Structures are given as C-alpha cells and as structure tokens.
Structure 1
Amino acid sequence: MNHITRCSIRMCYLHNNFIGHIFQPKKTFRKFSVCQCSTFYRFSILTSKSKLLTKCIEKDVSRCNFSQSNPPSNKLPPLMDFPKITWPSLIKSVRNFILATFIIKPYFDGDFNLSDFVIGSKKAVEVVSKKIAEGDIKSLNGLVTSDVIPALQRAASLMSLSQREQIAVDIEDIYFGFPYQVGVIFNEENDQKRFVEVTMVFHALRGLSIMKARGEEPPLNMGMLPEYQNRISICNYRFIKEFTKGVESDWTINLLNHFKPIDEAQE
C-alpha cells in the first residue's frame, strides 16, 4: 500500500457516464493507492497499461472538500447595492461643513450639529446591525425606509449564521467614524419638499470593548496583523430626513452596507 502525498485533481468519466473529480498520483505505481476524505473513499488501481479504474464509495454526503488550504469563504455578501466607502474625502469634508453650518442649521434645523449627529448615528448602527444579525428584519420598520426591508431580507437569506453574527456591531467597538457626505435634496415635482441626507462611515473592531475592559489597546497597525484583520469591519449608513415645512419627520436609514477590508484586499 502506498500513501500518496502529492495529488492533482483531474476529470474522468466513471460508470454510467458520471463525471467526477478524482485524485491521480503524480507517479505511476502498480499497486493499490488510496485517497480518503470526509465524504468519499476512493480506491484507484493503476494497471500496467497506465489505465486508471476508479470506484467511489459515497458516504452520507455528496460533496468532498479536497483542499485544507482553501476553506470555504466567510466573506460578507453585500447587504445592499451601495459603493463601499472607507476613508473621508477632504473636498467633501469642506463641503459638509459649509452645508451643515450655513445651510442646514440656519434654514432647516437650528439644532442640527454634525458632532451630535455622529453620536446618534452610532447608536442607530448598533440597533440596526444587531436586528439584522438576529434575522429580525421586520422590526426595523420605522428605522429604515420601506424599500430597505425587502433588500435586507434577501441579503439575510443568503447569509450563514456565522456571517450574520459578523454584522452585529457594539457601539463600544466603534473606534473611528465620520460623516462622508452631507446633501440637501429638493423634490423636482414639488419645490416645497426638502430633504437632508447624511452618509456615515464607521470602523469597528469586534471585541474592542473587552480589550479596553482588560486595560489593553489595539496596535496602531492592527489592520496589517492577521489576528486583527478578520475582526475589523466597516459600516456605511445613509440617513435621510424630510424638512418640508409643516412635516414632522425622523431620521431613517435608506441605504446601508457592512464589509471587511481584508475581503476587499483579497479580491
């Protein structure tokens, strides 16, 4: 019996015209060779004419994982079709300040303040992300716009339990956040309708609050360290509020997304 340590994957026709993956040794032996994995036992006999006869004995499952070096990807699928934003833009930051200070505050909302908005939006990210992780999408009614709920339901249905758990964000795990873009919208059909949109970006490190409770601080280059890379996620949330005269409205979310920088780097 020879133990085969180097194998390559080839395609062959089995009995009944079945096409399957087999392990074929790099060298030719005239003895039995056995390849074993969690779902199949494959017995290969190499004849003197170098013809390979293969018999597969299938166990309880139908798929075999041939490579330990390539585990199934746990990459987060996009929650919504939304461009991924990671860092602030200098030009947009200047424009945001002008809009917030000289347009929104004097003409829309005298109490509007970007610093306060950042704090409030952090809490919204925590609440919404945990509801998504729990699969409780319907309870987001009122926190997100009506068109967001079916999009999140579709995205959640494509996620594994492990992927959904990665969506949840604790407010204490957020270590960096900024308003990426502030916009004022006027309805073309009705000049009286006015809206304000604010796109927020947050960086979170899963388990950061626990580290701080132990008196530990993550290194500044944690994004380069493998032990931290899979714990870092970025949240993009766009908030909207109607400021039409005589209309009472609350801030709601009309677009959102979560992603991990390490996934983007590996693409």
Structure 2
Amino acid sequence: MNLKNGFSSFPKNLIVLSNSIRFFNSSKSNYKHCFLFKSQKILNTNKSYLKNLICSSYSTEPDKNKIPQNIRLPPLMNFPRVMWPSIPKALKNTILSYFIIKPYMDLDFDLGEVVLGSKKAVDVVSKKLSSGEDLGQLVTDDIIPVLQSRVSIMSVAQKELLAIDEKDIYFSFPYQVGIIFNENESNPKRFVEILMVHHSLKGLNEMRERGEEIPMNIGVIPEYRNKICVANYRFIKEFTKGIQDDWTINSLNHFNPADELDGE
C-alpha cells in the first residue's frame, strides 16, 4: 500500500528493538489547565449537569457525528498519553532531524513529510481497527494481538469512535524523535523512532465545507467536547547502512481528553 508524503510502503519484516525511552505524560494537567483557563464556571458546574450538556446541540438538524456522553473510549495499549508539545523536546527533535539523521543517515529525510505521511497512516490504520480489517504490514507483529484483544471487547459505538478521517485532523506535531543503536550484534543496526500526536474533531471536514471553523474555546463547548480525539502513533524505521526499510507503527493509542478530565 502506498502512503504519500514520506510513507511509501510498510515493510514485510522488521526487527523491533526494545528501548528505554520514556515519554512525559502531561495530558491530564495540561488539559485541565486549558479548561480552567477557558471557563472556570463550566468546570465548577456539577458533573451530572455537565454530562447532560454534552449531548446538547446548537442545530435542530440531526447530527450524524453526534456522540452520546456515556460512550468512553478504552485504551488500545498501555502507552503513555501525550497531548501537548514540549519546547525542549521540539528543539531536540530539530537538532536530531536536521543535524544528525539527515546528513549522516538519510539525505532525503524530511520531518515535515513524515508528519504529513503519518496523518495518512492514522487514517488508514484507525479505519482498519474500527472495521476489524487485517492490519497487515502497517504495524509491527508484536502489537497486533494486543490491538485485536482490546478492539474485540469494544462496543459498536466505541469501534466507530476509533475511525479518524485525515481531513478531520486539525493539529499535528512530532512529540519526540529518537535514535536507537544496537551494538550488541556482529551487524550493528540503527533505527529512528518518532512519536506523532494528532488532534481530530469528528465531522470537521463537513464543517469546513459549510464554511465553519473550529471555535477557539472548543474544549468547553458541549457540542464538540466528546467529538475530540487525540491519537498517539509511534513510528519506527531502520536506517542501517545498506538496508531499505519503511516506517511502521510499533505503538498507538486513542483517547478523548474529556474522558481524562472526567476520570479525575
């Protein structure tokens, strides 16, 4: 399968190296702070009243993208949830991408193209997860049983929440770029891992076709609150000299920031 802008295809075989990279999970605190900043009054409203507000709509027309407030999306993997960029990591990502990976590992490497290609990958993989299709070479073999097990116990409504349309993604960024070296073998290998974060709003493309745009205070508007999804996808590619490889997903997760807030 061809994925434009940096993800031409997925490998048939990929040796996945274990690593000790830890990602700083600031999703709960940052999202809560965002809500407090936007509307202290709404957060102080009791939870039962707030949950009733979630299902309200400003339109009298049926909304096929409307999501009931009682549907929560369980985690796909035990993987740290990341929602916002980190300035120190962004600086490190730039240094690694353009001063190490590009000159010494791959002259054609372009982090911007990787970001665009990852959006297409999220579209394809999330829809296959939602429909129960075979993930094939899109993800590493070790995570397929985990994903299948988690999706198999989801309700129909929860599976529908998994599907993300590329055109519904409104904010994307590489959270962390990492280089992995394996010097324990006679044939040393090197890999690059990139953790991508994508924010999407179900039905966004249709809104834009109607001439509408996302409100700045989207997080506190009940109409949109349960339509927001944050997807964390970590990609890996082997850059060993003489090896032709492609990007593959070795970890992923979807979550709704509203669920994070309600869980506190």
TM-score, with normalisation over the residues of structure 1? 0.72
Deviations 1:109-137 (A, max 9, x none): 1111111111000000000000000011x
| Percent of aligned pairs sharing the same letter | 59
Deviations 1:211-244 (A, max 9, x none): 0001111211011111100000000000000011
Q: Which residue of 1 aligns with 2:129?
A: 132
Aligned residues: 198
**Contact 1:173–1:209 (CA<8 Å) still a contact in 2?**
yes
Partner of 1:140, secondary structure, is coil
Q: Which moved more, 1:141-150 or 1:193-202?
A: 141-150
Deviation at 1:246, TM superposition (A): 1.7
Deviations 1:123-173 (A, max 9, x none): 00000000000011xx21211000111011011012101001001000110
**Contact 1:144–1:254 (CA<8 Å) still a contact in 2?**
yes
Partner of 2:184, secondary structure, is coil
Q: Which residue of 2 aligns with 1:155?
A: 150
Deviation at 1:210, TM superposition (A): 0.3
Q: Of 217, 240, 243, which aligns to 2:239?
A: 243
Distance 1:259 1:157 in 2: 17
More helix, by proportion:
2
Q: Of 71, 76, 89, which aligns to 2:73?
A: 76
Runs (4+) of structure 1 moved beyond 6 Å?
69-72
More strand, by proportion:
1
* One-letter identity of the residue aligned with 2:158: Q
Distance 2:226 2:70 in 1: 12
**Contact 2:69–2:226 (CA<8 Å) still a contact in 1?**
no
* One-letter identity of the residue aligned with 2:107: G
**Contact 1:141–1:149 (CA<8 Å) still a contact in 2?**
no
Deviation at 1:73, TM superposition (A): 3.8
* One-letter identity of the residue aligned with 2:106: D
Q: Which residue of 2 aligns with 1:17?
A: none
Q: Which residue of 1 aligns with 2:85?
A: 88
> How much is the aligned-residue C-alpha RMSD, in angstroms?
1.7
Partner of 2:107, secondary structure, is coil
**Contact 1:192–1:245 (CA<8 Å) still a contact in 2?**
no
Deviation at 1:72, TM superposition (A): 8.7
Q: Which residue of 2 aligns with 1:144?
A: 139
Q: Which residue of 2 aligns with 1:119?
A: 116
Deviations 1:186-206 (A, max 9, x none): 014136200000000000000
Alignment of structure 1 residues 146-185 onto 2, 5 Å:
146-185=141-180
Q: Of 251, 260, 264, which aligns to 1:264?
A: 260
* One-letter identity of the residue aligned with 1:257: N
Distance 1:170 1:146 in 2: 24
Q: Which residue of 2 aligns with 1:106?
A: 103
Structure 2 unaligned spans of 5+:
1-47, 53-67
Distance 2:117 2:240 in 1: 22
Q: Of 94, 97, 102, which aligns to 2:94?
A: 97
* One-letter identity of the residue aligned with 2:208: K
Alignment of structure 1 residues 44-63 onto 2, 5 Å:
none
Distance 1:101 1:196 in 2: 13
* One-letter identity of the residue aligned with 1:251: W
Partner of 2:141, secondary structure, is coil
